Amino acid sequence: MPRQLVKTHIALIGCVCLCLLGYLSWFESQAQQASAQTARLDFDSPDSLAVVVNKTRPLADPAYIPAELHDAGGVLLRPEAAGAFGQLSAEAAAAGVGITAVSGYRTAADQAHIHESYSASYGAPTADGISARAGHSEHQTGLAVDIGNADGSCALEPCFETTPAGAWAAANAHRYGFVIRYPAGATTITGFAYEPWHLRFVGTELAAELHETGQTLEEFAGFPPAPSY
């Protein structure tokens, strides 16, 4: 092989190695940043915007009541969530989409009543798949809001995703700090059926991360799936 060709091959191999080293360095940096972000978040305290509440992670205080609640379109939410929902609904309206708040903060007693009602109507196994037991509900944190269309179409039904409000929320909610907490295809992880109407406020930074990666809160936090109590 001519000497010049050998030199060219060596140079190409060197470039490839440098590129691989650069990629590995970038990948490691991204992993470290993600790990650092996760470490900064509090997934346990009911007062934390990142608290993870599910069937295996009940609220630390079963009778938890947020220190402050504000009106958000007729329902109560924590101040951060209420302000963000106001912005979300206002910008949706400006885009010609009416989004209403259907349900927000619930006391432990409220949640117990709802779950008992579903159990009486559909049986306990079905109720557990569509409604949280008291002490395990995101609504009790004051950070969750169920939304609907202004005309009430597909209220609290899977078809909500095809409505103007459902489609707009899916595409834009993360910009205001909300995520669809129980996404399609994640029942074995979250423990609940797909709820395109159930928005959970986590703050804009975490919401953007979850929206981009498609992860659930459980996956992002590194917690095991919570399909059952």
The C-alpha angle 84, 55, 222, rounded to 5 degrees, equals 70
Rounded CA separation 198/200 (Å): 7
- The contacts of residue 92 (CB under 8 Å, 6+ apart) are 98, 99, 165, 168, 169, 172
Could you write out the DSSP letters of every residue in 8-76?
Answer: HHHHHHHHHHHHHHHHHHHHHHHHHHHHHHHHHS-SS-TTSTT---SSSS--SSTT---S--EEETTEE
CB 155 within 8 A of CB 89: no
Structure pTM? 0.83
Dihedral over Cα of 85, 73, 47, 218: its sign: negative
pLDDT (average), residues 6-17? 52
pLDDT (average), residues 80-107? 98
Fold entry, domain 43-221: Muramoyl-pentapeptide Carboxypeptidase; domain 2 (3.30.1380)
Over residues 189-216, the pLDDT tens digits come to 999 999 999 999 999 999 999 999 999 9
Over residues 111-154, the pLDDT tens digits come to 999 999 999 999 999 999 999 999 999 999 999 999 999 999 99
Domain ranges of the chain: 1-40, 43-221
Over residues 21-71, the pLDDT tens digits come to 444 443 343 434 444 455 589 999 999 999 999 999 999 999 999 999 999
Question: Which residue is associated with the tokens 């095991």?
Answer: 224
pLDDT (average), residues 79-90? 98
Read off the DSSP letter of residue 96: T
pLDDT (average), residues 76-95? 98
The pLDDT of residue 35: 47
Q: Which of 109, 113, 104 is nearest to 64 (CA)?
A: 109
CB 98 within 8 A of CB 165: yes
Q: How many CB atoms lie within 10 A of CB 54?
A: 24
3-state secondary structure 136-197: CCHHHHCCEEEEEECCCCCCCCHHHHHCHHHHHHHHHHHHHCEEECCCCCCHHHHCCCCCCC
**Strands (DSSP E) found in 82-155:** 99-103, 144-149
Band (1; pLDDT cuts 50, 70, 90): low
